[in-house]
Amino acid sequence: MQMSRYLPINLYIRQALLYPLRSPFLPPVGKVEKDYSYAAGKLAGSLVSGGPPVIFKTLQTYSIRTGDDGNIQAGLAYPVPRYVDNGDNTITDNGTGLMWVKDPSQLGGSWGTPGTPDYMVWNDEIDLCLGLDHAGHQDWRMPNLRELISLPDYERIGNVIDTNIWPNFPPSIIDTSTLLRANITRHFYSAFSTGILGTRTNTSIGYPRPVRTT
């Protein structure tokens, strides 16, 4: 739907005509506009379901009983290929639409030396990601919890990340920007040596992994 041609006041009037009983004149939750028309002085539109949330498979196929993850394998399959190496030390995930720095150690400076990524405290990780200017982009950030846990392949034994795709990926602590709300002196992390999630203090040291939305 091309809405850019509407001036703000015209768009406001249009929404008010379409959804007069809803404030602030928006479609019902979970619905999106399918089409619209303007005829005989009235605006008319139709709504369709916004669709189910996109939740991908964990990739686990090993099963020990009926009803476990490996048996059911719920979720959407990732596109093939899932990952695209952009040739500039970034990788695009075709499933999530996220772009990741392939190997932060190659960035040099505070990121470490090639092949040996550096670690730092949580606040420094966030600042370093926010200040990154790489591959023509300046909107890098530290991933939140949901973004980071999209990476593990839970069918793998040991390191749950494919190091052929992600060279020099530390098997230990990768931090997220997500705070533990019950104790804001702690944040969530993932240990890629096992895939385990946990929390730890903001003064602990870990490895940053910059991400951006494409």
**Are residues 202 and 168 in contact, defined by beta-carbon separation less than 8 angstroms?**
no
Residues 77 and 109 in one domain: yes
Residues 135 and 184 in one domain: yes
- Cα→Cα distances 78→55, 82, 135, 179, Å: 10, 6, 25, 28
117 is a domain residue: yes
* pLDDT surpassing 60 at residue 62: yes
Angle at 106 between CA 105 and CA 108, to 5 degrees: 75
Residues 38 and 137 in one domain: no
Q: Give me the sign of the Cα torsion angle 77, 79, 81, 83.
A: negative
* pLDDT surpassing 70 at residue 159: yes
Residues 137 and 168 in one domain: yes
Give phi and psi for 198, each to the nearest 5.
Answer: -165, -175
Please give the full DSSP string across 34-97, using - where no structure is assigned: EEEEEETTEEEEEEEE------B-------SSTTSHHHH--SBPPPSS-EEE-SSSEEEETTT-
165 is a domain residue: yes
- Cα→Cα distances 38→11, 18, 41, Å: 13, 11, 7
- Tell me the CA end-to-end span of the chain in Å, nearest whole number: 21
118 is a domain residue: yes
* pLDDT surpassing 60 at residue 197: yes
Alpha-carbon span 76 to 31, nearest angstrom: 21
Residues 95 and 189 in one domain: yes
206 is a domain residue: yes
Alpha-carbon span 203 to 208, nearest angstrom: 14
Alpha-carbon span 213 to 208, nearest angstrom: 16
Q: Give the tokens for residue 63.
A: 């099963």
Could you report the per-residue pLDDT of 94-144, keeping only the tens digit for each?
999 999 999 999 999 999 999 898 999 999 999 999 999 999 999 999 999
58 is a domain residue: no
Query: What confidence score (pLDDT) does residue 36 get?
Result: 45
34 is a domain residue: yes
State the CATH number of the domain containing residue 174: 3.10.100
Residues 97 and 182 in one domain: yes
Could you report the per-residue pLDDT of 136-155, keeping only the tens digit for each?
999 999 999 999 999 999 89
List all residues 6 or more positions away from 130 whose beta carbon is below 8 Å from its beta carbon: 140, 141, 142
Alpha-carbon span 184 to 165, nearest angstrom: 34
**Are residues 88 and 135 in contact, defined by beta-carbon separation less than 8 angstroms?**
yes
59 is a domain residue: no
Instruction: Specify the DSSP class assigned to residue 207.
Output: B
64 is a domain residue: no
Q: How confident is the model at residue 163 (pLDDT cuts 50, 70, 90)?
A: confident
Query: What confidence score (pLDDT) does residue 17 get?
Result: 56
> Total structural domains in the chain?
2
pTM of the entire predicted model: 0.72
* pLDDT surpassing 50 at residue 7: no
Residues 13 and 101 in one domain: no
Give phi and psi for 189, each to the nearest 5.
Answer: -145, 170
Residues 125 and 193 in one domain: yes
Residues 14 and 116 in one domain: no
Could you report the per-residue pLDDT of 20-60, keeping only the tens digit for each?
544 444 445 444 444 444 444 444 555 455 555 578 888 88
Task: Give the residue numbers spanning the domain of 42.
Answer: 8-49
Could you report the per-residue pLDDT of 181-192, keeping only the tens digit for each?
999 999 999 999
Residues 31 and 122 in one domain: no
Residues 18 and 84 in one domain: no
